Amino acid sequence: MIRTTLSAFADRLAVPGGDTDISFTPNRIKIEILSGLTVALALVPEAVAFAFVAGVDPLVGLYAAFIVGLITAVFGGRPGMISGATGALAVVMVALVAQHGVEYLFATVVLMGLLQIIAGVFHLGKFIRLVPHPVMLGFVNGLAIVIFLAQMSQFHVPGAEHVIKEGAHGPSLFDAPYMTGAPLYMMLGLVALTMAIIWGTPKVTKFIPAPLAGIGIVALIVIVFNIDVPRVGDLASIEGGLPSFHIPMVPLNLETFRIILPYAIILAAIGLIESLLTLNLVGRITNKRGGASQECIAQGASNLVTGFFGGMGGCAMIGQSMINVKSGGRTRLAGISAALFLLAFILFTSEWIEMIPLAALVGVMFMVVIGTFAWQSFTIMRKVPLMDAFVIILVTVVTVWHDLAVAVVVGVIVSALAYAWNNASRITARTNIDDSGAKVYEITGPLFFGSAEGFEELFDAENDPDVVIVDFLDSRVVDQSALQAIEQLAETYAQAGKTLQLRHLTKECHRLLNKAGQLMVDSDDDPDYGLAVDYDIRTGILGGH
């Protein structure tokens, strides 16, 4: 049911044909470039706002959005995915910048990039497949709420966005006063108008992406009629030059490494988790799979370069990725265009971009929220197992309350524990007496750390006959705890002076078992599977891979 919901969500955003049928016709090139322009316009206020959150100059966020976006667009694992400066990373960076300064941030971003490259080289990205679908659904819903809440900062009184106060969790932009009265109603009206245009444009024409139409029409209305509403320029000036090569000015010693390493590990983990989950989500929409290791390396390379060019680092952005997909962007050209347009804004057209009303960009992001949130989750949570529903809610809440990385880890742990508990109760045994008078225990269910105690309780060594046969044909020995439970069973029957035979265990079990190994009875229909343990025959020590 959850898989169906995610597929339905992907279908709502997908264009006919998917990524596999794309050829670069003039019309396709137009769609990709206009989609990139739409994304670039939406990137500007996000990059500026996240720079403020991190406590750095707005250009530091804009340079990161350009460099990270360009490199991942060219080399990333999923065409159509957009990367840039993100809030998930910014909230981690703020403490480092406040305590040690921006140069330490640049050094940290460089180390973060190296760690991500290493993760890609060793194919650690493949472990994202261990994220269950309830966690993925919670991730989607949580990020939709986060995107919505992030837009609330655009409703501050003009100029108040620059007010950064020290709060319980570090510097915050959300202490600034909000609009009231006529300015608020005008802002909300323009947001609603933008959303209406985005909703209605596809019904009239597909010549330009609907989000771009919404931004363009509302911006034109505001500029022509000189409506007094907050604009991009009220956040900060985005005018600047080309990013220049800059070696972080920090002491090259162990003390510096000690300071930046914890931050680099956290940033690398958050960046990869958010990027790989977004990669999976975009993959469902564009009908593509794989590319996790390539994406890890691309993210790492982009952050490595960003750190040397005065950027704050970044990762995949689900909001902008959804804007790109919804606008028809399916190839690398859209992401490359978005990055180049963003650079052009900084170098040549900052004056014009600063005139765009924030209401238009907020309207675009609100439509992203509506399209991203899996509304069907309210229905399916009444049909799926209670634990799956709990995980969906848990991941959503933790994503909003804390951060994405913690939410995903918590969701995976809870799902894994629930799975282990369910399987622990599945170990059972059917008993019968064969023609020779031996008692046969036919074990059913997996034997692992969770079911080892229940396995031992199945047997009655004191009252069993002199010959006991344990048949594992319908079971599977999984780990070290399972092997230890078999060894303990063998010792129990040996102390009772009774004969124990083990049937339908693998050759590997035979090799790994110490005391019970000689009790195995080989047959032609013995199973063949691997165990997640290592065993040193010389020392008798079992250990995990």
Most confident of 147-156, 223-232, 501-510: 223-232
Q: What is the pLDDT of residues 463-483, one digit of tens each?
A: 999 999 999 999 988 888 998
Q: What is the structure's pLDDT at 174?
A: 47
Q: Considering only 9-13, 37-41, 202-206, 362-366, which range has the smallest mean pLDDT?
A: 9-13
pLDDT average, residue stretch 486-491: 91
Q: What is the structure's pLDDT at 540?
A: 40
User: Do β-strands 315-316 and 428-433 pair in parallel, antiparallel, or remain unpaired?
Assistant: unpaired
CB 13 within 8 A of CB 301: no
pLDDT band at residue 533, thresholds of 50, 70 and 90? low
Q: What is the pTM of this model?
A: 0.77
Q: Which residues contact 526 (CB under 8 A, 6 or more apart)?
A: 504, 505, 506, 507
CB 324 within 8 A of CB 79: no
Using CA atoms, how far apart are residues 48 and 60, in angstroms rounded to an integer?
Answer: 9
CB 364 within 8 A of CB 214: yes
Q: What is the structure's pLDDT at 160?
A: 54
3-state SS track over 483-521: HHHHHHHHHHHHHCCCEEEEECCCHHHHHHCCCCHHHEE
Is the pLDDT assigned to residue 2 strictly greater than 60?
Answer: no
SS3 (DSSP) at 79: coil
SS3 (DSSP) at 473: strand
What letter does residue 462 receive in the DSSP assignment? T
Is the pLDDT assigned to residue 249 strictly greater than 50?
Answer: yes
Percent of the chain topping pLDDT 70? 88
Say what the alpha-carbon torsion angle 135, 139, 141, 147 is, to the nearest 10 degrees.
170
Q: Which of 125, 96, 126 shows the shortest CA–CA distance to 111?
A: 96
Is the pLDDT assigned to residue 251 strictly greater than 90?
Answer: yes
Is the pLDDT assigned to residue 12 strictly greater than 70?
Answer: no
pLDDT average, residue stretch 147-151: 86
Q: Which of 96, 99, 121, 118 shows the shortest CA–CA distance to 107?
A: 96
SS3 of the chain: helix, strand, coil, percent, to 5:
60, 10, 30
pLDDT band at residue 63, thresholds of 50, 70 and 90? very high
Domain ranges of the chain: 2-404, 425-544
Length of the chain: 545
3-state SS track over 214-233: HHHHHHHHHHHCCCCCCEHH
Is the pLDDT assigned to residue 173 strictly greater than 60?
Answer: no
pLDDT band at residue 178, thresholds of 50, 70 and 90? confident
3-state SS track over 255-310: HHHHHHHHHHHHHHHHHHHHHHHHHHHHHHHHCCCCCHHHHHHHHHHHHHHHHHCC
CATH architecture of 425-544: 2-Layer Sandwich (3.30)
Q: What is the pLDDT of residues 382-430, one digit of tens each?
A: 888 899 999 999 999 998 888 777 888 899 999 999 988 888 888 999 9
- 270/402: higher pLDDT: 270
Q: What is the structure's pLDDT at 159?
A: 60
Cβ count within 10 A of residue 267: 29
Using CA atoms, how far apart are residues 366 and 372, in angstroms rounded to an integer?
Answer: 10
Is the pLDDT assigned to residue 20 strictly greater than 50?
Answer: no
Beta-bridge partners for 440 = 432, 469
pLDDT band at residue 58, thresholds of 50, 70 and 90? very high
User: Do β-strands 541-544 and 165-167 pair in parallel, antiparallel, or remain unpaired?
Assistant: unpaired
Q: Which residue has the tokens 């009774």?
A: 498
Beta-bridge partners for 172 = 165
What letter does residue 384 receive in the DSSP assignment? S
What letter does residue 70 receive in the DSSP assignment? H
Using CA atoms, how far apart are residues 183 and 317, in angstroms rounded to an integer?
Answer: 30
**pLDDT averaged over every residue in the chain:** 86
**Half-sphere exposure (Cβ direction) of 342: Cα atoms closer than 13 Å:** 35
Q: What is the structure's pLDDT at 1?
A: 54
Residue 419 zone, left/alpha/beta (φ > 0; ψ -120 to 50; rest): alpha
Q: What is the pLDDT of residues 309-345, one digit of tens each?
A: 999 999 999 889 999 998 989 899 999 999 999 999 9
Cβ count within 10 A of residue 365: 26
